[in-house]
Amino acid sequence: MSLSALFRDLLPREAIQENVPLCSYTTMRVGGPADVMLSPSTEEELTAVLDCIRQENIPWLIIGNGSNLLVSDEGFRGVVLRIGKNYGKISCEGNRVFAQSGAMLSVLAKAAEENSLSGLEFASGIPGSVGGGIYMNAGAYGGEISQVLSKVRVWINGEIQEWPAARCGFGYRHSALMEEGAVALSAEFTLIPGIQLEIAARMADLNQRRREKQPLQYPSCGSFFKRPAGHFAGALIEEAGLKGYAVGDAQVSELHAGFVINRGHATAGQVYQLMRHVQKTVMEKSGVMLEPEVRLIGHFES
Ligand SMILES: Cc1cc2nc3c(=O)[nH]c(=O)nc-3n(C[C@H](O)[C@H](O)[C@H](O)COP(=O)(O)OP(=O)(O)OC[C@H]3O[C@@H](n4cnc5c(N)ncnc54)[C@H](O)[C@@H]3O)c2cc1C
């Protein structure tokens, strides 16, 4: 039986695709094919697929908006579960906002603004999904998912559990979902009542700052490296003379040295080689080992 045939009773035909180029599903626009991609649109479909993958012991990968992933040129042998916009309902009740994990953070922040709720302004320019944001504890401009999430419904080892924020083990760009293989299904955020015009103005200001400081016209994964304690990755990279350094079409952005951009036809291998060169050079110059914030998927040659 083919791999995709295992899911025919669990998902509609159009939610099952074979041999899918992952470069079309990552914001870096690199990465080889996935054997099978599944795009569930209800919690029942999503958990049935996860249960099946677990029972059959199939290698699996969750993708949200693919904005923090470096997938190798060989792609992914197994099943990629895409938790995207078709699993992205949002609703509001009082000062709480509920979202399925495929909702985009920008849409979530907009919904909060429309309901005069403050707290998610920081997230409006982060091009990720709610699930990816929780998994990464995404943050910007002093805000972080951990500050606004009240609980998350997760699938873990065949069980569905409700985790209060305190159970999520949040740290800087870190959550317990990483170690425990938990999948975020949906989430509840508790916000503060505010004035819609002021919330909208804050979001517009933060997005303007992004447009000025970040190379948003090029494919990238955002900040490639985590912020090392006591330093800024971009500043260390710039001090090491690496602004503009390129391997093929993968380049350290000239606008913001913390970003690695794809100038057009970069491969994942080139992005990886660039990453290694940056790590080695910064280590030699400043004694700091930069750790990627981006999740590396698949095999990379050192
Ligand atoms: C231009 C640009 C700017 C950015 N700015 C910021 C920023 O300011 N702050 C910031 O923190 N990040 C930023 N990022 C990085 C990225 O947007 C965030 O990390 C985002 O939270 C990733 O969400 P995603 O849906 O794209 O996740 P993906 O990249 O698809 O996945 C990231 C990880 O999350 C896991 N995952 C995804 N969905 C789920 C789920 N439902 N359950 C469990 N695991 C899941 C994946 O398996 C993977 O390991 C930026 C990226 C870009 C391209």
> Tell me, what's the pLDDT at 67?
98
The one-letter amino acid at 227: R
Whether residue 173 is contained in a domain is answered as: yes
Residue 58 in tokens: 């199939």
- pLDDT tens digits, 251-283: 999 999 999 999 999 999 999 999 999 999 999
Q: Is the CB of 271 under 6 A from ligand 1?
A: no
For residue range 68-92, list pLDDT tens digits in order.
999 999 999 999 999 999 999 999 9
Q: Residue 230 and residue 56: Cα distance in Å, rounded?
A: 45
- Please indicate, yes or no, whether residues 16 and 43 belong to a single structural domain of this protein: yes
103 lines ligand 1 (CB under 6 A): no
**What local confidence, expressed as pLDDT, does residue 202 receive?**
98
Structural domain ending residue among the three candidates 40, 64, 82: 82
pLDDT at 62: 98
Pair (180, 237) in one structural domain = no
* Separation of CA 1 and ligand 1 centre (Å): 34
Q: Find the CATH number of the domain harbouring 287.
A: 3.90.78.10
Q: Which domain holds residue 105?
A: 86-202
Residues 185 and 43 sit within 8 Å (Cβ to Cβ)? yes
Of 25, 26, 35, 82, nearest in space to 59 by CA? 35
164-217 pLDDT, tens digit per residue, is: 999 999 999 999 999 999 999 999 999 999 999 999 999 999 999 999 999 999
Nearest CA to 102 out of 124, 116, 115, 86 is that of: 86
Count Cβ neighbours within 10 Å for each residue of 120-130 and write b for 16 or more, e otherwise: bbbbbbbbbbb
User: What is the C-alpha separation between 107 and 104, in angstroms, rounded?
Assistant: 5
Shared-domain flag, residues 43 and 98: no
- Does 162 fall in a domain? yes
Closest CA to 275 of 227, 225, 221: 225
Q: Which of 82, 100, 130 is the last residue of a domain?
A: 82
Instruction: Looking at the CA of residue 138, tell me the nearest atom of ligand 1.
Output: 11
| In the predicted structure, residue 301 carries a pLDDT above the cut 90 | no
Nearest ligand 1 atom, CA 220: 53
Residue of the CA atom closest to atom 51 of ligand 1? 222
Q: Does any domain span residue 207?
A: no
Q: How many other CB atoms are found less than 10 A from the CB of residue 35?
A: 18
Domain count, the chain: 3
Pocket test for ligand 1, best of 22, 28, 136, 145 (most atoms within 8 A of CB): 136
**Position 59 confidence tier, pLDDT thresholds 50, 70, 90:** very high
State the average pLDDT for the chain.
Answer: 97
The answer to whether residue 182 is domain-embedded is yes
Q: Which residues contact 9 (CB under 8 A, 6 or more apart)?
A: none
Q: What is the mean pLDDT of residues 153-163?
A: 98
Cα of 296 vs centre of ligand 1, distance in Å, is 12
Q: How far apart are the first and last CA of the chain?
A: 36
pLDDT at 118: 98
Using the 3D structure, point to which of 178, 202, 226 is the last residue of a domain. Answer: 202
pLDDT for position 302: 75
Residues tagged active-site: 173, 223, 293
